[in-house]
Amino acid sequence: MHIPVLQKEVLQYLSPKSNENFIDCTIGEAGHTLAILEETEPEGKVLGIDRDPELLRNIRKQKRLILVCDNFSNLKEIVRKNKFIKIHGILFDLGMSSWHLNESGRGFSFRKREPLDMRYNPQTQLTAEKIVNYWSKFDIEKILKEYGEEKFAYQIAERIINERKLRPIKNTLQLVEIIKKAVPKKYLHSKLHPATRTFQALRITVNDELNNLEKALPQAQELLKIGGRTVVISFHSLEDRLVKNFFKSESLKILTKKPVTPSVKEIKINHRARSAKLRAAQKI
Q: Fill in the amino acid letter for 245.
A: N
Domain span at residue 182 reads 104-207
Residue 3 pLDDT exceeds 80:
no
Residue 1 pLDDT exceeds 80:
no
Domain identity same for 134 and 48: no
> Per-residue pLDDT tens for 188-200?
888 889 999 999 9
Q: For residue 174, name the pLDDT band (cuts at 50, 70, 90).
A: very high
> Per-residue pLDDT tens for 110-120?
999 999 999 99
Which of 182, 207, 232 terminates a domain? The answer is 207
Between 172-182 and 196-207, two packed helices, what is the crossing angle to 10 degrees? 130
Residue 34 pLDDT exceeds 90:
yes
Domain identity same for 217 and 274: yes
- For the chain, the average pLDDT equals 95
Q: Is residue 1 part of a domain?
A: no
Q: Are 66 and 81 in contact (CB under 8 A)?
A: no
Q: What is the DSSP letter of 255?
A: S
Identify the pLDDT of residue 261. Answer: 96
Q: Are 179 and 194 in contact (CB under 8 A)?
A: yes
Is 170 exposed, middle or buried, given 0-12, 13-18 or 19+ CB atoms closer than 10 A?
middle
Name the nearest CA neighbour of 1 among 120, 102, 122: 102
What is the Cα–Cα distance from 275 to 183, expressed in whole angstroms?
A: 24
Name the nearest CA neighbour of 198 among 134, 121, 142: 142
Q: Are 54 and 29 in contact (CB under 8 A)?
A: no
Instruction: Please count the structural domains in the chain.
Output: 2
Domain identity same for 277 and 151: no
Which of 207, 225, 258 terminates a domain? The answer is 207
* Ordered strands of the 87-93 beta sheet: 65-69, 46-50, 21-24, 87-93, 224-234, 277-283, 252-254
Identify the pLDDT of residue 189. Answer: 86
Q: For residue 273, name the pLDDT band (cuts at 50, 70, 90).
A: confident
Identify the pLDDT of residue 251. Answer: 83
Domain identity same for 193 and 118: yes
Q: For residue 151, name the pLDDT band (cuts at 50, 70, 90).
A: very high
What average pLDDT does range 167-177 have in this prediction? 98
Query: Which domain CATH number covers 113?
Result: 1.10.150.170
Between 31-39 and 7-14, two packed helices, what is the crossing angle to 10 degrees? 40
> Per-residue pLDDT tens for 56-91?
999 988 999 999 999 999 999 999 999 999 999 999
